Amino acid sequence: MTQETPTTSTTAIAETPEGVTPPSEPNSPTRTRRVRVLSSMIFASVALAGILLVLYAWRLPPFSSAIESTENALVRGQVTIIGPQLAGYIVEVPVHDFQFVKAGDLLVRLDDRIYTQRLAQSIAQLQQQQAALANNLQQRKSAQATIAQRQAAIADAAAQAEQSQADLRRNQALVSDGSVSRREFDVSRASHAAKVASLAQAKAALEIARQDLETVIVNRAALEAAVENAKAAVELARIDLDNTRVIAPRDGQLGQIGTRLGAYVNSGAQLMALVPDTLWVIANMKETQMAKVRIGQPVTFTVDALDHLELRGHVQQISPATGSEFALLQADNATGNFVKIAQRIPVRVTVDADQVEAHRLRPGMSVVVNIDTR
C-alpha cells in the first residue's frame, strides 16, 4: 500500500511550536486586484448616493418638480380687536368666551348716565339757538316795517317842504307890493327851512332803518351757524351715548373676554377679539421658488393641527416685495461680511369654499403648502 507524502503546509504546521502563528501564504495578484475593484465600487456608490442626495435636497434634475412646497405657511384671518371708544365703568357683559355673534349684537355696555345728560344739555342749547334764530326773523320783519314807516315820513316831509316852498314864493311876490309884511315873509322862510330840514332828517332816519335791516340780516347768518353748531354738538353727544354700547361689527366668533362686570376701562382698551369666517393662507416662499408661480395656480395644503388634513386652494395674490422689506428694522450690512440668504416672498392663497372640513381652520394654524406650477 502506497504511503501518502505529507504536504509542505502540513509539515510547517506540524513543525511549528505550540503558541506560534504559522506564516501566511503570500497574496496572489488576482486577489489583490479583486479587493481594489470592490473598494472602488463601494467608494463610487457612496459618492453617487451623496450626489443624488444633494440633487434631491435642492430639487435639481433629475429630481426637479413642478410642485413648489414650503412649511413656512400659516392660516390667516381678519381678527378684529374690540375696544371701547370711551372710558367708563362696565355695567353689562352679555357674551362669553368663544361665543358666535351676529353683526349688531351687544358685546359690552358702559355706564351711560354722564353721556345721557350731555345729550340733554346739547339738545337744550340747540333749542336756545333755534329760538334766537326765530327772534332774528321777527327783528327782520320789524326792521322792514320801520323802513316802510321812514319812507312814509319822507313822503310827508317832502310834501310839507313842497308846500312851504310854494308859500315862500307867494309871500316873496307879495312882499314887493306891501301885501305881506316883512315879518310874515321871514316866518314863511323859516318855516320852509324847517320843512327842508325835516325832510333831510326823515331821509337820514330811513338810511338808519336800512342799516338796521342789514345788521339783522348779517346777524341771521351768525345765528344760523350757531344753530348748525348746536346740531353738531347734539350729534356728537348722541354718538358718545351710542358708543357706550360696544356692538359686534360683523358676524364671527369671539375670543377670550378680557374684561368683567364693574371694571373701569380706558378708551381703546382691548376687551376681546372677533374672528370672522373669512380665512386664507400666507405661504412664505423662497425667492428661488418664485420663477413659475403665477396667480390662479392650484394649491394643496396640509394642516398640522388637523392630522395633516389636505385642503385645496388657489394662488390669489403675490406680495409686491419680500418680507424683509416690510420689517420694522431694515438690515444694513456695513461690515463687508456679506452672506447671501434666500429671501421669502409671501403668497396669499384662498381656501376653496366647496370643502366640508374647511370650517375647522383657525387663524395661526401651521400648514404645508404645495403650489402646482405646471
41 found inside a domain: no
The tens digit of pLDDT for each residue in 282-318 reads: 999 999 889 899 999 999 999 999 999 999 999 999 9
9 found inside a domain: no
Residue 305: all three cell numbers together: 393641527
Sign of the torsion formed by the C-alpha atoms of 294, 296, 300 and 306:
positive
228 and 146 both lie in a single domain: yes
DSSP 78-118: --EEE--SS-EEEEE----TT-EE-TT-EEEEE--HHHHHH
Query: What is the spatial distance between Cα 253 and Cα 248, in angstroms, rounded to a whole number?
Result: 10
119 and 223 both lie in a single domain: yes
| Cis peptide upstream of residue 62 (ω within 30 degrees of 0) | yes
188 found inside a domain: yes
226 and 172 both lie in a single domain: yes
Report whether 367 contacts 303 (CB < 8 A): yes
Query: What is the spatial distance between Cα 147 and Cα 38, in angstroms, rounded to a whole number?
Result: 129
55 found inside a domain: no
Residue with C-alpha cell 314864493? 169
Which has the higher per-residue pLDDT, 314 or 21? 314
106 and 225 both lie in a single domain: no
Model confidence at 30: pLDDT above 90: no
Q: Which CATH number is 263's domain given?
A: 2.40.50.100
* Residue 9, pLDDT score: 46
CB burial of 109-135 (b: ≥16 within 10 Å; e: otherwise) equals bbbbeebeebbeebbebbeebeeebee
The tens digit of pLDDT for each residue in 105-131 reads: 999 999 999 999 999 999 999 999 999
Residues 6+ apart with CB under 8 A from 88: 110, 111, 112, 114, 244, 264, 265
173 found inside a domain: yes
Query: What domain range is 88 assigned to?
Result: 84-111+245-269
13 found inside a domain: no
318 and 203 both lie in a single domain: no
pTM for this model (two decimals): 0.61
308 and 228 both lie in a single domain: no
As a whole number, mean pLDDT of residues 42-64 equals 77
235 and 137 both lie in a single domain: yes
192 and 136 both lie in a single domain: yes
Residues 6+ apart with CB under 8 A from 342: 286, 287, 288
Query: What is the spatial distance between Cα 311 and Cα 296, in angstroms, rounded to a whole number?
Result: 16
* Residue 157, pLDDT score: 77
339 and 256 both lie in a single domain: no
Domains contained in the chain, number? 3
120 and 222 both lie in a single domain: yes
Q: Which CATH number is 284's domain given?
A: 2.40.30.170
Q: Which CATH number is 191's domain given?
A: 1.10.287.620
Q: Which of 253, 269, 285 lies at the terminal end of a domain, its last residue?
A: 269
181 and 92 both lie in a single domain: no
119 and 225 both lie in a single domain: yes
